[in-house]
Structure 1
């Protein structure tokens, strides 16, 4: 049966241990850890931070659903616009690309430490001057190095597609998984991203059967081709009954993680109302 988790990326005004404790207060079985500033930005994440996190997890008895390594905003002192996924694993600059590969390995280390089954990774978008096919070559090269590291630690890597990224829909991520031929590579399926791209979310879920490393949940206004703004379930147009039915149909029994980073001023309300809206399905 699917269980609910909540991502700490809604709690960026709080420390990581405090975010874990607050999420536990709202009834969740799991927690997703933000692998970025201000929580676990790995160049600054020290042994004391790890120990405080482990203590919070032990005290709350929360399982870790995923390490969210999609972004690395801590990399910048003054981030340029739309730098959310930079430096990416498809960056033409060898040094920047290798920095991101090593950063992802640190996310895998944390996953191993906290017994998370997976991390998620976004591909980023090709920057001007980098052709899509060149970017795909960089992606394949980066992923093979990342997956070699992950497989040795029994951690899966879920690619999270998003409109306007190199890998932006269900077909492209499943094509990549097939092309790579690595059992540890899957999809971290964000239902809102599928909806915004224009996909039928239930069809995306069913097509991804056997490849899902994790699920991100949020509501979207407009549904198909809607606005990409993460909302509390019941505040948008997605049909969560059909989403959970589709997950049941394919036998998915992992975590479905609420990703509501859009509520930094009121994360407790977002966590509470999201759980109340979805608890009947799990």
Structure 2
């Protein structure tokens, strides 16, 4: 049975333990941890922060659905929007790429500590001067190291595709998974990303059967080729009945995590209204 979770990336005006407690208060079975500033930016996330997180999880009786390591904005003191995924695992610069590989390993460490089944990872965009084929070579080098580390910790890595990234749709992520050929690599399937790219979301889910490490939920206005802006479920054009039917069809029994980082000023409203809209499906 699918269970609902909510990402702490909506609660960036609160510290991580408080975000966990607030999400639990809204009835969610799981919580996704933002592996970035201001929650768990790993160069600054020490033993004290870990212990406070574990205390909040234990006191709230809530499971961790995923560690979201898509971004590393804490790397910058004043990051421009173009740096959202940088440094990425596809960087031609070896030192920058290795920094991100190590960062992802720290996300895997946290996943092991909190019993999260998975870590999600975005590929980033090829920077000017880097051909897509060269970026794919860098991606494979990064994944070889990351997956070896993940397997040892019994954690799955879910590539989250997104329009305009190196891996931006269902076909590309499934081709990558097949090419790599390791069971620990899968897809963290964001339904809004599939919709904005122009895919049939239910068909994306069915095509990904057996490879889904986690699901991100949000609504999108405009349907296929709509604007990539995460809305509270029920406020856009996605058909969540079809989405959950497709998850049932493939026997998916993991977490579906609501990701509403677009509501930092009212995360409690977003969490409450999303739960009220989605609980009928689970």
TM-score (norm 2): 1.00
Q: Secondary structure at the match of 1:276?
A: helix
Written as runs of structure 1 = structure 2, the 5 A alignment for 1:38-53 is 38-53=38-53
Partner of 1:278: 278
Deviations 1:123-147 (A, max 9, x none): 0000000000000000001001000
Residue 3, structure 1, aligned to residue 3, structure 2: yes
Partner of 1:248: 248
Partner of 1:230: 230
Q: Secondary structure at the match of 2:83?
A: coil
Deviations 1:40-90 (A, max 9, x none): 000000100000000000000100000000000000011123211000000
For 2:159 and 2:115, how far apart are their aligned partners in 1? Answer: 19
Written as runs of structure 1 = structure 2, the 5 A alignment for 1:115-134 is 115-134=115-134
Residue 19, structure 1, aligned to residue 15, structure 2: no
Partner of 1:215: 215
Residue 170, structure 1, aligned to residue 170, structure 2: yes
Q: Secondary structure at the match of 1:194?
A: helix
Give the aligned length. 282
Q: Secondary structure at the match of 1:113?
A: helix
Q: Secondary structure at the match of 1:6?
A: strand
Tell me which stretches of 4 or more aligned residues in structure 1 moved more than 4 Å: none
For 1:81 and 1:189, how far apart are their aligned partners in 2? Answer: 23
Partner of 1:150: 150
Partner of 1:60: 60
Deviations 1:92-125 (A, max 9, x none): 1110000000000000000000000000000000
Deviations 1:231-265 (A, max 9, x none): 00000000000000000000000000000000000
What are structure 2's unaligned runs of at least 5 residues? none
Partner of 1:88: 88
For 2:70 and 2:160, how far apart are their aligned partners in 1? Answer: 8
The alpha-carbon deviation at position 154 of structure 1 amounts to: 0.1
Written as runs of structure 1 = structure 2, the 5 A alignment for 1:183-222 is 183-222=183-222
Partner of 1:265: 265
Q: Secondary structure at the match of 1:182?
A: coil
For 1:179 and 1:265, how far apart are their aligned partners in 2? Answer: 42
For 1:267 and 1:212, how far apart are their aligned partners in 2? Answer: 27
Deviations 1:218-239 (A, max 9, x none): 0000111100000000000000
For 1:228 and 1:78, how far apart are their aligned partners in 2? Answer: 23
For 2:257 and 2:81, how far apart are their aligned partners in 1? Answer: 27
For 2:59 and 2:125, how far apart are their aligned partners in 1? Answer: 40
Partner of 2:182: 182
For 2:81 and 2:223, how far apart are their aligned partners in 1? Answer: 26
For 1:20 and 1:109, how far apart are their aligned partners in 2? Answer: 19
For 2:94 and 2:220, how far apart are their aligned partners in 1? Answer: 37
Q: Secondary structure at the match of 1:82?
A: helix
For 1:278 and 1:129, how far apart are their aligned partners in 2? Answer: 44
